């Protein structure tokens, strides 16, 4: 289990010493190991439920405590899948000749380590550290684009991330001052009444995390960064990185929100999410560049996630569970679909030698496969059955109706329609028939296969949503046998 954190770190250091090509070989080996370990952990959780694990045998107040439950292990597995896909794709996609590309692998592994740290972290400070690791690695990855615009976007990203981290850290500090511990579980136990200082702390933390997650209206940094980065990097960023900060925000809300939150707060966060859905989709529809469309789509899709806040606040337990399940599915399906979409978009850009949407004419004729991956990913984003996106939307609809907050229904439905608008805009452009000559670059099959597999996973997720969700509800044993968890 510790391997989940240390393998990436070890590989990060290792690949720092190697050039891009050698780093690639080494990293692929690392990916295999990571996937196997993740699967093993998942199997363990399936067998005996969630457990806590103290790193190196040091218990919570002193050491680094890790906490594994169904949700965490699902995200670990998701990370393994998406990161592996992006890593494989990047191995073929990135231009090995550019000298700065050798930094891709270390940054990639740092990112992975940070992500696993967030999923498994049990105290607020560890979460902070992991989050910073992620942010810095992500900024570095964006900068790998090499152009001036990429550097500008990376810098902007860096400022946003630092500001977010700062706000979060401030909140953590406030909590530490009040409770003297950073363990989320311990804070949860001690928290009895609602104090203004605590509310400020929560607000600060949420604001910082919202900035990092690019919640409307704090989303300005995301589209340039995700749009300009190389496609595998964009896929990683959109698929996983923004989810990390959201994951922390969600955990804070679910643990502390019932006491520190207020209906007003919950509804306004939901309203911001709704605004993100509408505004992001609209901007996505208007973008001239293919990757910008996909990037703005991320803004919109992230908006859905924040419906978690109103839908779990002061509602009946089953409704809250529905909403949590829906959001989890949304995270998973968006990660898979968006990664697929960015990778497919990368392939398309490679083929048409242009970033513009209107250059896609004829693609459907000569490059059906890449377009098909893009399209399947789009199905999930539109929330059409049987995709995971649909399953998520269904659960959220049920939760909205059951909690009496019917206004979110409109957001969910409108979001689907708007998503259809921007996805079909791409289809429309690529179905146009112009001439009979095939002067497109045809990417190798391995490049084309990866987004297809991801898209199919996103599409099939809806059909197996029940087994996936059942993992989430596995029991959590607080008194776990430490030795058995040594993986």
Q: Are 5 and 113 in contact (CB under 8 A)?
A: yes
Residue 282 binds other proteins (CB under 8 A):
no
Contact with other proteins (CB under 8 A): which of 364, 370, 380, 405?
A: 364
| Residue 73, both tokens | 């292990």
Nearer of residues 431 and 476 to other proteins, judged by Cβ: 431
Within residues 315-334, the interface with other proteins by CB under 8 A covers 322, 325
CA–CA dist 249, 113 (Å, integer): 19
Nearer of residues 37 and 420 to other proteins, judged by Cβ: 420
Q: Are 111 and 241 in contact (CB under 8 A)?
A: yes
Closest distance of CB 377 from other proteins, Å: 13
Q: Residues in contact with other proteins, total (CB under 8 A)? A: 37
Contact with other proteins (CB under 8 A): which of 21, 286, 353, 428?
A: 428
Give buried/exposed letters for 98-109 (b at 16+ CB in 10 A, else e): eeebbbbbbbbb
Residue 391 binds other proteins (CB under 8 A):
yes
Residue 286 binds other proteins (CB under 8 A):
no
CA–CA dist 217, 299 (Å, integer): 10
CA–CA dist 31, 81 (Å, integer): 9
Give the closest residue to 17 by CA, choosing from 106, 139, 107: 106
Residue 340 binds other proteins (CB under 8 A):
no
End-to-end CA separation in angstroms for the chain: 5
Nearer of residues 204 and 472 to other proteins, judged by Cβ: 472
Residue 17 binds other proteins (CB under 8 A):
no
Give the closest residue to 139 by CA, choosing from 159, 119, 122: 159
CA–CA dist 389, 455 (Å, integer): 11
Nearer of residues 218 and 472 to other proteins, judged by Cβ: 472
CA distances from 434 to 329, 371, 427, 431, 438 (A): 40, 16, 14, 9, 10
Q: Which range in 152-160, 207-215, 306-314, 389-397 contacts other proteins by CB under 8 A?
A: 389-397
Residue 314 binds other proteins (CB under 8 A):
no
Closest distance of CB 385 from other proteins, Å: 4
- CB neighbour class for 177 (10 Å; exposed up to 12, middle 13-18, buried from 19): exposed
Q: Which range in 33-41, 281-289, 457-465, 476-484 contacts other proteins by CB under 8 A?
A: 457-465
- Per-residue binder mask for other proteins (CB under 8 A), 115-154, x = binder: ----------------------------------------
Q: What are the respective helix, strand and coil percentages of the chain, to the nearest 5? A: 80, 5, 20
Residue 439 binds other proteins (CB under 8 A):
no
- Per-residue binder mask for other proteins (CB under 8 A), 255-274, x = binder: --------------------
| Residue matched to tokens 């900068």 | 143
Task: Give the sheet arrangement for strand 50-54, strand by strand.
Answer: 65-68, 50-54, 476-477
Residue 394 binds other proteins (CB under 8 A):
yes
Contact with other proteins (CB under 8 A): which of 242, 250, 305, 379?
A: 379
Closest distance of CB 440 from other proteins, Å: 14
Residue 433 binds other proteins (CB under 8 A):
yes
Closest distance of CB 86 from other proteins, Å: 25
| Residue matched to tokens 């922390």 | 248
Contact with other proteins (CB under 8 A): which of 463, 475, 482, 484?
A: 463
Residue 444 binds other proteins (CB under 8 A):
no
Residue 398 binds other proteins (CB under 8 A):
yes
Closest distance of CB 449 from other proteins, Å: 12
CA–CA dist 352, 363 (Å, integer): 8
Angle between the 445-461 and 317-352 helix axes, to the nearest 10 degrees?
A: 160
Residue 181 binds other proteins (CB under 8 A):
no
HSE-CB of 177 using CA atoms within 13 angstroms? 10
Residues 6+ apart with CB under 8 A from 177: none
Give the closest residue to 372 by CA, choosing from 300, 427, 420, 429: 427
Contact with other proteins (CB under 8 A): which of 19, 59, 188, 466?
A: 466
CA–CA dist 208, 165 (Å, integer): 6
Q: Are 141 and 115 in contact (CB under 8 A)?
A: no
Closest distance of CB 164 from other proteins, Å: 34
Nearer of residues 57 and 410 to other proteins, judged by Cβ: 410
Closest distance of CB 71 from other proteins, Å: 15
Residue 353 binds other proteins (CB under 8 A):
no
Residue 465 binds other proteins (CB under 8 A):
yes
CA distances from 377 to 339, 374, 412 (A): 9, 5, 18
Contact with other proteins (CB under 8 A): which of 145, 164, 416, 451?
A: 416
Closest distance of CB 18 from other proteins, Å: 37
| Residue 250, both tokens | 């969600």
Nearer of residues 8 and 310 to other proteins, judged by Cβ: 310
Binding site for other proteins (CB under 8 A): 322, 325, 364-365, 368, 372, 379, 382, 384-386, 390-391, 394-395, 397-398, 401-402, 409, 413, 416-417, 420, 424, 427-428, 431-433, 436, 462-466, 469
């Amino acid at each position: 289990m510790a391997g989940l954190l240390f393998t990436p770190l070890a590989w990060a250091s290792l690949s720092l010493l190697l050039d891009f090509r050698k780093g690639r070989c080494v990293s692929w080996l690392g990916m295999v190991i990571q996937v196997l370990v993740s699967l093993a952990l998942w199997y363990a959780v399936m067998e005996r439920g969630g457990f806590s694990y103290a790193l190196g045998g040091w218990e919570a107040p002193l050491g680094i405590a890790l906490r594994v439950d169904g949700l965490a292990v699902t995200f670990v597995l998701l990370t393994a899948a998406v990161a592996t896909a992006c890593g494989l794709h990047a191995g073929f996609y990135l231009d090995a000749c550019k000298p700065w590309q050798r930094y891709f692998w270390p940054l990639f592994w740092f990112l992975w380590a940070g992500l696993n740290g967030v999923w498994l972290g049990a105290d607020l400070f560890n979460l902070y550290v992991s989050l910073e690791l992620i942010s810095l690695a992500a900024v570095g990855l964006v900068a790998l684009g090499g152009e001036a615009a990429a550097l500008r976007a990376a810098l902007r990203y860096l400022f946003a991330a630092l500001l977010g981290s700062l706000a979060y850290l401030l909140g953590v500090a406030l909590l530490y001052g009040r409770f003297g511990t950073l363990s989320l579980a311990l804070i949860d136990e001690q928290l009895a009444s609602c104090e203004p200082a605590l509310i400020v702390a929560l607000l600060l933390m949420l604001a910082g995390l919202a900035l990092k997650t690019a919640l409307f209206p704090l989303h300005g940094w995301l589209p340039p960064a995700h749009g300009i980065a190389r496609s595998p990097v964009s896929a990683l960023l959109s698929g996983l990185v923004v989810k990390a900060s959201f994951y922390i925000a969600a955990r804070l809300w679910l643990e502390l929100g019932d006491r520190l939150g207020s209906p007003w707060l919950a509804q306004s966060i939901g309203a911001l999410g709704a605004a993100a859905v509408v505004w992001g989709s609209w901007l996505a529809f208007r973008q001239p560049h293919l990757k910008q469309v996909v990037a703005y789509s991320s803004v919109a899709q992230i908006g859905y996630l924040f419906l978690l806040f109103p839908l779990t606040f002061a509602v009946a337990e089953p409704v809250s569970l529905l909403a949590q399940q829906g959001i989890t599915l949304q995270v998973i399906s968006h990660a898979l679909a968006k990664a697929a979409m960015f990778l497919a978009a990368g392939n398309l850009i490679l083929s048409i030698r242009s970033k513009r949407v209107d250059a896609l004419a004829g693609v459907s004729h000569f490059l059906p496969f890449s377009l098909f991956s893009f399209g399947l990913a789009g199905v999930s984003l539109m929330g059409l059955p049987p995709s995971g996106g649909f399953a998520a939307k269904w659960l959220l609809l049920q939760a909205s109706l059951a909690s009496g907050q019917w206004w979110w229904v409109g957001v969910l439905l409108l979001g689907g329609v708007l998503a259809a608008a921007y996805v079909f805009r791409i289809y429309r452009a690529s179905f146009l028939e112009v001439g009979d000559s095939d002067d497109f670059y045809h990417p190798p099959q391995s490049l084309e296969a990866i987004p297809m597999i991801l898209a199919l996973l996103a599409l099939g997720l809806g059909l197996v949503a029940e087994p996936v969700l059942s993992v989430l509800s596995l029991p959590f044993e607080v008194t776990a046998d430490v030795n058995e968890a040594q993986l």
